Structure formats: C-alpha cells, structure tokens
Amino acid sequence: MTDDLERRFDDLWSSLRTIGLSAESGGYRRFAWTAVDDQLRRWFREQALSRDLSYKVDRNGNQWAWLGVPGEGGIVTGSHLDSVPDGGAYDGPLGIVSAFLAVDELRARDRPVTRPVAIVNFADEEGARFGVACVGSRLLTGVLAPHAARALTDGQGVTLEEAMTSAGVDIASLGRDDPLLGHIGAFVELHIEQGRALDDVDAPVGVATGIWPHGRWLFAFTGEANHAGTTRLADRRDPMLPFALTVLSARSRSAMAGALATFGRVRVVPNATNGIASRVDGWLDLRASDEGTLATLVQAITDDAVSAAATNGVTATVTCESSTPAVVFDEELAARVQAALGGVPALSTGAGHDAGILSAHVPAAMLFVRNRSGVSHSPAEQADPADLVAGVRALAAVLAELACQ
C-alpha cells in the first residue's frame, strides 16, 4: 500500500474538478450526451489509456476500462460521471476516481490479480436530461427497451437517439448485452453516502444492504388560460390549484407511511405572472420501504389529484415514467465485502443506483463513503480527505478479495 494516496487522490480529483462546474451556483451541470459529458468521457478514456487498461465503449454507450482480458467472472467497479442540475462533486465521480485509484493499489500489491477487473462509467445515470434514470445500465440489462430509450426527449425537444448519434454512438446497437453481462462476475459500486447514517455511527465507510423501491410519475393538470385581472375566481379553471393540493397530499400521505415524496420539478404553461396557467405538469419522485406501500401511496395521491382537479374544473392525468423495484443486494457478496473490510456498518438507502439495476442480473454490492453534511444532489455534499482515502483503501481491499485468488 502506497502512503501518498491522499496526494494521488487530490491530483486525480483536480483533473476532473472544473468540468461542468457552474460558477454561478457552485454546483455541477454534467448532463448526458452534451459537450460537458464529452469532456468527462474523454477524461475517462485518458485515464484508462494512461494506465494501459483496455478501453471499450459497449453497445449502449457505457465506457469500460479492463485490466486483463474481458471474460467470465470479471470483477467490475465504477459508477457514473453525470450529475443532476447543480449537483454535488461526489455523487458518481467519487466511484470512478476511487475505482481508478483502487485498481492502481491492486496492481501495486504482491498478490497476482487472477480475474479480469474492469472500471465502468455508466452513461446517463441521473436522468437529468431525458427524465429516466440509469439509462446506460437499464439498456445493458434489457430493463429499458431500445425503442423506448431512443424516443426519450429532453426539454429542448432533442431525442436521446439524436443526442447519442451526435455523440458518435451507433444507435442501432442499443439493447441487452448478454455477452458483456456474462463477463460480470460481481459489480461493486462505491458511492458518497446520501444521508448521515455513517456520520451518526462515526464510520468512514459502510456497505449497502438494499435500495427502496421508487419511481417517477408525471402529474399533468390541464385547465384554461385566462387573464389574472379580469377573470372572476368562480369562472377560473386554474390547474395550479389541484397541483398545489396534490403536493400537499403527497407530503402528508408519505409522512404517514414513512415514505419520501417529492415534487421537485414543475412546468407551467404559459408561465406568466399575470396569467392563469393553462397547464401545470409536476413530477413526483416517490420512494418507500416496500413495494406495497409504494403502490398504495401512488394510488392515493393519484385519487387526490383527480378529485382536486374535478373540483376545480380541471383534468388530471397521471403517467408513470419509470419505476424501480426494491433491491436486496447479494448476501454472499455482501458477506465477502464485509469480511474484506473487517466488518463495517450496513445500511439501506432510498436512492437509486446502477448497482441496483445490475443486482437483478449479476451479484452486486455497494460501498458508501461518509458524507459529513448528509446532503446530496446539491453543492453542499461534503467528504473529508481522510474518508476519501479510506474509501479507496476499502475498495482496493474488496477488489483484492474478489479478484486475487
């Protein structure tokens, strides 16, 4: 084990730090298949080539860096480089920077690496641009159909097909990739913790047990545009009212169920200060500890939306844009990870990850690194230098356990 790991972490982290950083917000705007994403992908390729790893882009636009010849039983680590709008620095990139450094550590050890090892950058994990999360891993595993992916459209009307084509991906090749899945013996994703559980127990690193089921629904309310100064309240068909009531319903019902409901994105048409809106679209992100609770909650919030719309002369339609079942990570793999780390805290999370998508197809595990602020999807994400290094060391120990036999 080298002792200058903190400095090497700093160097590698700095090489990525300014890409997509907004001077205005202090957050990152790293959206899939944009010029910024292209810079990130070039960075990944350079890191792979500078280490003599074999660099490949798979059929779905995910980037891979292999140590050894890709083959059955490969040990894969990595995460994503894209971000939510004004996201924090660590969500995603920490898993990839740590992966490159952990592979460096692995190669510096005396024990021979006996299995292929790969680092992956999954494309479009956050779904910030096209609305569906984990597109790269969903396509790889066949969870998302290629025709559905191609038709996804961003806020400017650009389809995913157009965006991927202009980034040089052969759109005809999208789809489940069985040969590549067959090369993944285990996938271990290191990620910044998106809560304060590790801080509470004073531990730098933890292991995931599972991910709550979750989904995204579009609530569309259609009324009638009219003048704010001349239309009597009684004559209005204002979609903002049932939308507001639906936000409150989601909050109170999720509080009662111990779930997490969020309306974080709204589109108002025509979005004028002196006009009654003709349409309000709100996106509900809902997460619960089990699938029954999630289904019951969505139905109840939908019923509330429909009835609030009817009361206000507005129509409401609810469309599920994506849903992800509960994830329980592979117990045998989790036990080996725990053994390699000498026992660390185990925690579940409400946040979705590529590891969650992969877990239905290959053994998958996650390591979390302590986030002092507990805040994520915001520039306030925070990690101590010592914890970042502890994360790399933990990942290297796990890779050694899995790939050196």
Question: Interface with Zn ion by CB under 5 A: which range of 48-56, 67-75, 88-96, 216-224?
Answer: 88-96
The SS3 call for residue 367 is: strand
Minimum distance from residue 390 beta carbon to Zn ion (Å):
19
- Identify the residue among 37, 58, 91, 387 touching Zn ion (CB under 5 A): 91
Q: Does 20 participate in binding Zn ion (rule CB under 5 A)?
A: no
Q: Assess 391 for contact with Zn ion (CB under 5 A).
A: no
**Residue number, 91 or 177, with CB nearest to Zn ion:** 91
Nearer to Zn ion, 92 or 242 (CB): 92
Question: Does residue number 93 form part of the binding site for Zn ion (CB under 5 A)?
Answer: no
Q: What is the DSSP string of 50-62?
A: HTTPEEEE-TTS-
Reduced to 3 states (helix: H, G, I; strand: E, B; else coil), residue 405 is coil
Residue labelled with tokens 């280490």: 51
Of 253 and 287, the one with the shorter C-beta distance to Zn ion is: 287
- 326, 365, 321, 359: which is closest to 346 by C-alpha? 365
Alpha helices in 258-404 (DSSP H): 291-311, 331-341, 354-358, 385-403
Report if residue 356 touches Zn ion, rule: CB under 5 A.
no
Closer by beta carbon to Zn ion, 92 or else 206? 92
Helix (H, G, I), strand (E, B) or coil at 210: strand
By CB under 5 A, the count of residues binding Zn ion is 2
Binding flag, residue 58, Zn ion (CB under 5 A): no
| Nearer CB in complex with Zn ion: 95/146 | 95
Closest C-alpha among 203, 252, 247 to residue 387: 203
Residue whose tokens read 């780390």: 341
Nearer to Zn ion, 70 or 92 (CB): 92
DSSP 150-200: HH-B-TTS-BHHHHHHHTT--GGG-S--HHHHTTEEEEEEEEE-SSSHHHH
Site string for Zn ion, 308-347 (x = CB under 5 A): ----------------------------------------
Please say which residue, 9 or 122, places its beta carbon nearer to Zn ion.
122
**What DSSP line would sit under 102-140, residue for residue?**
HHHHHHHSSSPP-S-EEEEE-SS-S-TTTS-S-HHHHHH
Residues 24-40: b if buried by 16+ CB within 10 A, e if exposed = eeebbbbbbbbebbebb
- Using alpha carbons, select from 123, 119, 179, 186 the residue that is nearest to residue 149: 123
- DSSP code, position 289: S
* Pick 78 or 223: Cβ nearer Zn ion: 78
Q: Per CB under 5 A, which region of 89-97, 319-327, 334-342, 381-389 contacts Zn ion?
A: 89-97
Rounded least distance, CB 95 to Zn ion, Å: 7
The distance of closest approach from Cβ of residue 15 to Zn ion in the complex, given in angstroms and rounded to an integer, is: 20
Task: Give just the sign of the alpha carbon dihedral 381, 387, 390, 394.
Answer: negative
The verdict on 189 binding Zn ion (CB under 5 A) reads: no
Report the residue number, 17 or 109, with the smaller CB distance to Zn ion.
Answer: 17
Name the DSSP class of 365: E
124 touching Zn ion, by CB under 5 A: no
Which of 70, 92, 131, 363 lies at the binding interface for Zn ion (CB under 5 A)? 92
Q: Does 193 bind Zn ion (CB under 5 A)?
A: no
Amino acid, single-letter form, for residue 187 = F
CB of 297 to Zn ion, least distance (A): 24
CB of 169 to Zn ion, least distance (A): 21
Per CB under 5 A, which region of 92-100, 234-242, 326-334, 357-365 contacts Zn ion? Answer: 92-100
What minimum distance in Å lies between the beta carbon of 353 and Zn ion? 6
Q: Cα angle vertex 391, ends 385, 394, to 5°?
A: 145
Nearer to Zn ion, 78 or 92 (CB): 92
What values do phi and psi take at 177, rounded to 5? -120, 85
Residue 70 touching Zn ion (CB under 5 A): no
Cβ 352 to Zn ion shortest distance, Å: 8
Positions touching Zn ion (CB under 5 A) are 91-92
